[in-house]
Structure formats: structure tokens, C-alpha cells
Structure 1
């Protein structure tokens, strides 16, 4: 699969992406924006996965691989936009976490397709950690900050 140095580098890079996504998502969530911890973390983790995936191809035709991944990333953005729903009457947006997870999932598939099994599995772990712990973390912070209105925090994952 991978040696200790390679795996620890992947873990470090994904952990830093997760940390940055969590910090930025927490900031946006605290300002009552629709994209919170999970959405930002998924985008950060997926981006880290994409960059690590592209950087591994320097011995191959990097431009060709980069073009393929660029098309994948752009195309999935449009697909993700299709799952985002805005409720006019409640002023809520739903589907951001799903859109981000679709985008990140496509990159995991690309990692597996390129033979980057450790990258794909470790990225999956980081995303599952985000999806499982992101909501409870948002709710814990809501309780600590006294957020009470349902429009400020979503009870469901999306």
C-alpha cells in the first residue's frame, strides 16, 4: 500500500486540510452562513486529495492528467449545484454538504483510478470523520453559544 513516510505525509496533509476546513467552516457557521464546518472541511479535504493526486503524476504527462482532473473537478461542481435547494419561504439552503461530498467522492474515485489507494482510503476516512463529527460539533458549539433559532442551525446533516 504505502510506506510509513508516504502514509504519514498523506495523513498530515489531509489533517491540515481538515483543520483549515473546520476553522473556516466554523467561522462561516458562526456567522449564520449556509455552508458550515462539514461543507468547508469536505471541500478542503477534496482539494488536498486533488493536489496530492496531481503532484504524483510528475513522472507521467502531467498536463494531460491535469486536464482530465480539471474537467472532473469542474464537471462535479455543476453536478453538486444540482443538489443545492433554496427554500424561499424559510430562507434556508439545503444540499451543500451533499454537493461537497459528491465533489470529494469524485476525487476519491480519481485517486483509486490512478492507483493511489492509500490516498483514497485516507481521504475517505477524513471525509467520514467530517460527516460523523461535524454535525455534533456544530450542535455543541450552538449550545455553548446559546443559538436557539432553527434557521441558525440545521438539525439534519444537509
Structure 2
């Protein structure tokens, strides 16, 4: 960080922080997250302006010979990073089913803050490296993540007629990989012979996948009157 900066340097730092924050924030905006493009831009610019403010008062830092007061200009960007914790925490939500949302958005805001501090300090190579790594993480690795087999929970409910497959036949299908039965429930109507089977399953599958092919084949077997799949 240089001791004295001119107007052109200020503009370059501002535009660098603005453009990179806009691109990273666009990913959150397209997915309608809690903190979208404008929020991300404001966070990045706030960090950039804080660092440029620290740069302006840098020549006045230190301790005068006749004074006990010492100025540490680096406390200003440090306070920005600390305050980001509150904004990031506000972006994280926990649903009633225990699923947590907003962690990536909170991490993006914190990351953009650090990137803004780099551009505000005139560290263009470091800020550019942060921008590229952010793009790779948010945009490119997202496509890789879709093909990763995640552990997922599901609930299967079957209504079987008297002539439908037996419980052992259904279990034989659900005990093969990638499925694993965690809990099961059976209800039988003696008068009609109809049976209700409920299974809580855990299986490995890609993110966003719908009804597994094996469950579709199971639904087509004769004697199965109804199949419900919750995931």
C-alpha cells in the first residue's frame, strides 16, 4: 500500500472493487439468495473505501514525540471484517426441517469484503487472484458439485393390494445400493388384505435428482395401488 495516492489511483481501486463485486454478486442474484448483487457490491465497496480511508490517514499514523497517543490505521479494515460477521449471520437461515440455507451467501459476503480490502489497498494482483478463485468456486465448481453423490434422506410409502408384492420383496429392492433402510412401518387391513408399507431411507444421489429409477420400476409392479416419495 503506497503512502500517497492520486485521484486516478482512487478511481482504479474503486472500479476494480465495483466490477469484481458485481460479478460475484450476480451468482447470488440469479439464484435469488438473501444477499444479492446490490448487497454484495455494497459490501465490497465498503471494504474498499475503508481501506482507501486507511491509506489516506497512513501518513499521519504513528506516535508523536510529545504524545502518548498512537494511531493504528489498520484497525479500520479490521473493524470492517468484524462487522461482516453480523451481516453474514443474518444471511444464514435454518428451516423447520433442520436444513440450513445461506451459508454460501454469508461466505461470499465475507470473501468479497477481503477482496475489497485488497483492491482498496492497491494490491491488484492479490485482489485479481481472489476474484478468479471466487469465480472458479461459485460458477465452475457448481457444475462439479451437481455430479457428486450426496447422502440424502427420503420417505417411501406404498399401498399394496392383497395380490401385491410381499414385504420381503419390497425390502429386497430397498436394501440394494445405493439405498439403506433406516426405519420401517407396516399396517395391514385384515378385512381387505390391503397393506401400507412406510420406509425411511438414506441413499446416495446427485444434488437436485428426482425420483430414482429403481423406485419408478417398483411403482410399475402389479399390485401396487399407490406410491408416495418424499425427499
TM-score (norm 1): 0.49
The one of the two structures with greater contact order (alpha-carbon pairs below 8 A, sep at least 6) is 1
More helix by share: 1
More strand by share: 2
